[in-house]
Structure 1
Amino acid sequence: MCKATLTAFCWRTGKIEFGTSVPEGAMAIMTGPASEITDEITSKSRLAYDGKTLLVPGIPEAPSAEHAKAALDRFVEWVHKCRERREARQCKR
Protein backbone atom coordinates (compact mmCIF):
# COMPACT_ATOMS: atom_id res chain seq x y z
CA MET A 1 0.00 0.00 0.00
CA CYS A 2 1.31 3.43 -0.96
CA LYS A 3 1.51 6.16 1.69
CA ALA A 4 0.07 9.53 0.70
CA THR A 5 2.76 12.15 0.10
CA LEU A 6 2.34 15.60 1.57
CA THR A 7 4.35 18.81 1.33
CA ALA A 8 4.63 21.37 4.11
CA PHE A 9 5.23 24.94 2.99
CA CYS A 10 4.98 28.42 4.42
CA TRP A 11 4.26 31.95 3.34
CA ARG A 12 6.22 35.13 4.07
CA THR A 13 3.90 35.66 7.04
CA GLY A 14 5.22 32.42 8.54
CA LYS A 15 1.90 30.61 8.16
CA ILE A 16 2.44 26.89 7.50
CA GLU A 17 0.15 24.95 5.21
CA PHE A 18 0.12 21.46 3.73
CA GLY A 19 -0.63 20.32 0.19
CA THR A 20 0.48 18.15 -2.70
CA SER A 21 2.74 20.86 -4.12
CA VAL A 22 4.23 24.23 -3.21
CA PRO A 23 2.16 27.14 -4.55
CA GLU A 24 3.85 30.02 -6.30
CA GLY A 25 5.14 32.48 -3.72
CA ALA A 26 5.34 29.89 -0.92
CA MET A 27 8.52 28.33 0.48
CA ALA A 28 8.95 24.56 0.84
CA ILE A 29 9.71 23.04 4.22
CA MET A 30 9.63 19.28 3.60
CA THR A 31 7.88 16.51 1.68
CA GLY A 32 7.16 12.94 2.70
CA PRO A 33 4.54 10.56 4.02
CA ALA A 34 1.53 12.59 5.18
CA SER A 35 1.40 11.37 8.79
CA GLU A 36 5.14 11.91 9.30
CA ILE A 37 5.11 15.38 7.79
CA THR A 38 2.18 16.61 9.86
CA ASP A 39 3.69 15.14 13.06
CA GLU A 40 7.14 16.64 12.42
CA ILE A 41 5.85 20.08 11.51
CA THR A 42 3.11 20.46 14.12
CA SER A 43 5.41 19.36 16.93
CA LYS A 44 8.08 21.92 16.03
CA SER A 45 6.09 24.91 14.81
CA ARG A 46 4.50 27.50 17.03
CA LEU A 47 0.88 28.51 17.25
CA ALA A 48 -0.48 31.90 16.25
CA TYR A 49 -2.65 33.87 18.64
CA ASP A 50 -5.75 32.15 17.27
CA GLY A 51 -4.48 28.86 18.74
CA LYS A 52 -4.90 27.05 15.41
CA THR A 53 -2.60 28.54 12.79
CA LEU A 54 0.87 26.97 12.62
CA LEU A 55 3.83 29.35 12.21
CA VAL A 56 7.51 28.97 11.43
CA PRO A 57 9.30 30.42 14.48
CA GLY A 58 11.02 33.71 13.68
CA ILE A 59 9.30 34.51 10.39
CA PRO A 60 6.34 36.62 11.61
CA GLU A 61 8.66 39.01 13.43
CA ALA A 62 11.37 39.05 10.75
CA PRO A 63 12.04 42.65 9.67
CA SER A 64 13.05 41.70 6.12
CA ALA A 65 12.82 38.94 3.54
CA GLU A 66 16.44 38.04 4.26
CA HIS A 67 15.72 37.57 7.97
CA ALA A 68 12.61 35.54 7.14
CA LYS A 69 14.65 33.28 4.85
CA ALA A 70 17.25 32.79 7.59
CA ALA A 71 14.49 31.84 10.06
CA LEU A 72 13.04 29.38 7.54
CA ASP A 73 16.48 27.88 6.90
CA ARG A 74 17.01 27.33 10.65
CA PHE A 75 13.57 25.74 11.01
CA VAL A 76 14.05 23.44 8.01
CA GLU A 77 17.48 22.36 9.27
CA TRP A 78 16.06 21.65 12.74
CA VAL A 79 13.11 19.65 11.41
CA HIS A 80 15.33 17.59 9.10
CA LYS A 81 17.90 16.90 11.85
CA CYS A 82 15.16 15.72 14.21
CA ARG A 83 13.71 13.50 11.51
CA GLU A 84 17.14 11.99 10.75
CA ARG A 85 17.75 11.28 14.45
CA ARG A 86 14.34 9.63 14.79
CA GLU A 87 14.96 7.48 11.71
CA ALA A 88 18.42 6.50 13.01
CA ARG A 89 16.92 5.36 16.31
CA GLN A 90 14.32 3.27 14.47
CA CYS A 91 17.01 1.61 12.36
CA LYS A 92 18.92 0.54 15.48
CA ARG A 93 15.95 -1.38 16.89
Structure 2
Amino acid sequence: MELRDRIGQALKQAMKDKDQSRLATLRLINAAIKDLEIANRGSDDAAALGDAEIRAILAKMVKQRNESVRAYEEGGRVDLAERERAEIAVIEEFLP
Protein backbone atom coordinates (compact mmCIF):
# COMPACT_ATOMS: atom_id res chain seq x y z
CA MET A 1 0.00 0.00 0.00
CA GLU A 2 1.29 3.44 -0.87
CA LEU A 3 2.28 5.80 1.89
CA ARG A 4 -0.28 8.39 0.79
CA ASP A 5 -3.04 5.76 1.10
CA ARG A 6 -1.84 4.75 4.57
CA ILE A 7 -1.95 8.38 5.68
CA GLY A 8 -5.45 8.77 4.23
CA GLN A 9 -6.70 5.67 6.03
CA ALA A 10 -5.14 6.83 9.30
CA LEU A 11 -6.87 10.20 8.83
CA LYS A 12 -10.26 8.52 8.37
CA GLN A 13 -9.69 6.33 11.41
CA ALA A 14 -8.73 9.34 13.54
CA MET A 15 -11.98 11.02 12.47
CA LYS A 16 -13.98 7.94 13.45
CA ASP A 17 -12.14 7.70 16.78
CA LYS A 18 -12.55 11.45 17.41
CA ASP A 19 -8.82 11.65 18.18
CA GLN A 20 -8.34 15.37 17.67
CA SER A 21 -4.59 15.62 18.26
CA ARG A 22 -3.84 12.74 15.87
CA LEU A 23 -6.30 14.15 13.34
CA ALA A 24 -4.63 17.57 13.45
CA THR A 25 -1.19 16.04 12.87
CA LEU A 26 -2.41 13.93 9.96
CA ARG A 27 -4.01 17.01 8.41
CA LEU A 28 -0.67 18.82 8.75
CA ILE A 29 1.01 15.94 6.92
CA ASN A 30 -1.55 16.11 4.09
CA ALA A 31 -1.13 19.88 3.87
CA ALA A 32 2.66 19.56 3.60
CA ILE A 33 2.30 16.98 0.83
CA LYS A 34 -0.17 19.14 -1.09
CA ASP A 35 2.04 22.22 -0.66
CA LEU A 36 4.96 20.43 -2.30
CA GLU A 37 2.73 19.14 -5.11
CA ILE A 38 1.53 22.68 -5.78
CA ALA A 39 5.10 23.98 -5.71
CA ASN A 40 6.10 21.32 -8.24
CA ARG A 41 3.26 22.06 -10.67
CA GLY A 42 5.26 24.66 -12.54
CA SER A 43 8.26 22.39 -12.98
CA ASP A 44 8.75 19.22 -14.98
CA ASP A 45 8.08 17.09 -11.86
CA ALA A 46 4.34 17.75 -12.02
CA ALA A 47 3.44 14.12 -11.31
CA ALA A 48 2.11 13.06 -7.92
CA LEU A 49 4.70 12.63 -5.21
CA GLY A 50 6.08 9.17 -4.63
CA ASP A 51 6.77 7.45 -1.34
CA ALA A 52 10.39 8.67 -1.28
CA GLU A 53 9.36 12.33 -1.55
CA ILE A 54 6.68 11.88 1.10
CA ARG A 55 9.20 10.23 3.43
CA ALA A 56 11.51 13.22 2.91
CA ILE A 57 8.67 15.56 3.88
CA LEU A 58 7.95 13.49 6.99
CA ALA A 59 11.62 13.42 8.00
CA LYS A 60 11.75 17.20 7.64
CA MET A 61 8.63 17.55 9.81
CA VAL A 62 10.18 15.35 12.52
CA LYS A 63 13.38 17.40 12.45
CA GLN A 64 11.42 20.66 12.81
CA ARG A 65 9.47 19.29 15.75
CA ASN A 66 12.61 18.01 17.48
CA GLU A 67 14.05 21.52 17.24
CA SER A 68 10.81 22.90 18.67
CA VAL A 69 10.92 20.42 21.56
CA ARG A 70 14.44 21.55 22.41
CA ALA A 71 13.45 25.22 22.26
CA TYR A 72 10.32 24.68 24.38
CA GLU A 73 12.26 22.76 27.02
CA GLU A 74 14.89 25.48 27.20
CA GLY A 75 12.08 28.00 27.63
CA GLY A 76 10.42 25.96 30.34
CA ARG A 77 7.34 25.15 28.25
CA VAL A 78 7.04 21.44 28.99
CA ASP A 79 3.37 21.37 27.91
CA LEU A 80 4.23 22.54 24.40
CA ALA A 81 7.20 20.16 24.25
CA GLU A 82 4.87 17.25 25.05
CA ARG A 83 2.48 18.31 22.29
CA GLU A 84 5.36 18.35 19.80
CA ARG A 85 6.48 14.90 20.99
CA ALA A 86 2.97 13.58 20.39
CA GLU A 87 3.10 14.94 16.83
CA ILE A 88 6.51 13.32 16.32
CA ALA A 89 5.08 9.96 17.40
CA VAL A 90 2.27 10.20 14.84
CA ILE A 91 4.61 11.26 12.02
CA GLU A 92 7.14 8.53 12.80
CA GLU A 93 4.45 5.87 12.31
CA PHE A 94 4.83 6.48 8.57
CA LEU A 95 8.64 6.45 8.50
CA PRO A 96 10.61 3.23 8.07
TM category, shorter: 0.3 to 0.5
Answer with 1 or 2: which has the greater Rg: 2
TM, length-normalised to structure 2: 0.39
TM-score (norm 1): 0.40
